[in-house]
Amino acid sequence: MVLEITSDSKNQELVRFGNYFLGILNDLKRRPEDAAKELNVSLEEIMDIINGRKEISSEIIIRAAKVWPVNLRDFYLMKDDCPDGIKIMRAEDSAKSSRIMERGGLPYYEYRDTAVSSISLFRPEWIEELCIVDDNDPNNPAVQWNNGHFMHQFTYFIGDVNYYYRGPDGQKKVAVMNTGDSVYGTPFRPHSFATRKNAKENGLILALTYGNQLAGDAQQELSVLGERLGMSYWLDFSSREKSFGSLLNFHRRCASLSFEEITKRTGIDKDRLIQFENGLEIPSFEIINSLAVSMNVNSRDLLPPDAIEDKVIVQYYKESPNWYYPESIKAYKIVELCHSKNLPFSKAFEFSILKNNDDELDLEVGLHQYAYNVGNENIQFNWRIENSVKHDDLKPGDSVYIKPNIPHSFRGGGKLMVLRIAGRIAGDAQRELSCLEQNDANRAISETSMWFDPQGKD
């Protein structure tokens, strides 16, 4: 029975790859016979791959990447390691992944993995602070700083933890954190953590690192372009005015428009345009709209960030807004943890569960989600995948990954720390999908047909 299920899902993967491979051929305007010729294999072999009867060999992949403008990576599909829509990691399994990291020759952190998936860019670690500090001095020599890292980091604090970081002018700072406090840290900002002396037990953090839009393909493209060409993408976002100026300049160069032509289209004279580009003035929304029209972009493409956020944002629990949700049934009391507008799709909360179990699935979010049971009670977790409603328990210390758009609910009692992130769709990709007709968006997700019908039709 197990063997059948295995070959069933293996078959499904072959069929999925076959559809996808057909898409590659369509994009390259190769019929199966053209592909067979260029890849030095039989037409039968190509059709077996397309129809999910046979796995593509690495020889064919290597040949394809040689003769076509495709990369080896294009032939390996993202794997779905949670076909049920969610993936739970138990506290016991987190404990089994324990590893002690030394710094400066002494045990400094105990790391434990928590719920992850091959689909999401979460790298969430439970970390115990083994270094005890006597004071809150940011220069305490016992504190071992890291170099900062590529991933964004949201941190939730449990217990008496000091967070060491650098302020805007580079000076070392310390945030004296307690349970429920939170921090957002921009990539590459060095930091450290330690437990304060006289704490009842070692401090803990949920160090929820994750990749966002710069990860994956984008990171690959930057790596191939290299520093010189890559850094030309970096815009000066040090103030709103400079952000607007850089964006306007970037779009003007993309459009190869002369100042004269922009003046002709907008009525705004060259001196004023240069003033904008030099970061000296942000004009009214009407003028921004007029500039956008002249450049064939949307106003939103020229708009600078609403605020220039600190690179490290510390938020105290007692200052965190809270409310009941949904407003009708008040199933949760939600505390809004640390946010940064630089990442509008990153959302962090503490959920207190208030309602006994029922059939209502009151949460559905277009973001990837991670949740960790930070309380003392079991939480009933209900979710729907395809047409089935499923149930499980999240015990204290359990964590779960939830796919985007899964209808779900939490019931019983207790407390969850929840982090939501963009993944690859929210933002530009979602808008592009939404510019398609609904039927066409459906095809974008499940494209199977060849791009033309060789029989011909009307």
Question: What pairs with residue 157 in β-bridges?
Answer: 205
- Which lies closer to a copy of itself via its Cβ, residue 200 or residue 435? 435
67 is a contact residue toward a copy of itself (CB under 8 A): no
For residue 112, the minimal CB distance to a copy of itself (Å) is 10
CB 121 within 8 A of CB 421: yes
Figure out which of the listed residues 266, 342, 373, 399 binds a copy of itself, where binding follows CB under 8 A: 342
- Which lies closer to a copy of itself via its Cβ, residue 156 or residue 198? 156
User: Which value, to the nearest 10 degrees, does the dihedral of the CA atoms of residues 222, 225, 226, 232 take?
Assistant: -80
CB 350 within 8 A of CB 335: yes
- Which lies closer to a copy of itself via its Cβ, residue 149 or residue 200? 149
Question: What pairs with residue 417 in β-bridges?
Answer: 350, 372
For residue 415, the minimal CB distance to a copy of itself (Å) is 15
367 is a contact residue toward a copy of itself (CB under 8 A): yes
Give the gyration radius of the chain's Cα atoms.
Answer: 26
DSSP secondary structure code for residue 319 in this structure: G
Figure out which of the listed residues 199, 230, 280, 281 binds a copy of itself, where binding follows CB under 8 A: 230
For residue 200, the minimal CB distance to a copy of itself (Å) is 26
CB 175 within 8 A of CB 163: yes
329 is a contact residue toward a copy of itself (CB under 8 A): no
C-alpha closest to that of 183 among 161, 198, 202: 161
Residues 183-222: x/- map of binding to a copy of itself (CB under 8 A)?
Answer: ---xxxx-------------------x-xxxx-xxxxxxx
Figure out which of the listed residues 201, 261, 269, 281 binds a copy of itself, where binding follows CB under 8 A: 261
388 is a contact residue toward a copy of itself (CB under 8 A): no
13 is a contact residue toward a copy of itself (CB under 8 A): no
Order across the sheet with 192-196: list the strands.
Answer: 132-133, 192-196, 161-166, 172-177
C-alpha closest to that of 336 among 328, 327, 346: 346
For 419, the enclosing helix (H) or strand (E) is strand 415-421
Q: Which of residues 30-59 bind a copy of itself (CB under 8 A)?
A: 31, 34, 58
406 is a contact residue toward a copy of itself (CB under 8 A): yes
* Backbone φ and ψ of 416, nearest 5°: -120, 140
Question: What pairs with residue 388 in β-bridges?
Answer: 385
For residue 48, the minimal CB distance to a copy of itself (Å) is 21
408 is a contact residue toward a copy of itself (CB under 8 A): no
- Which lies closer to a copy of itself via its Cβ, residue 52 or residue 427? 427
Task: Cite the DSSP H helix spans in 278-375.
Answer: 285-294, 299-302
Figure out which of the listed residues 309, 390, 392, 396 binds a copy of itself, where binding follows CB under 8 A: 309
Q: Which one of 40-48, 272-280, 361-369, 408-416 is the stretch in contact with a copy of itself (CB under 8 A)?
A: 361-369
- Which lies closer to a copy of itself via its Cβ, residue 136 or residue 232? 232
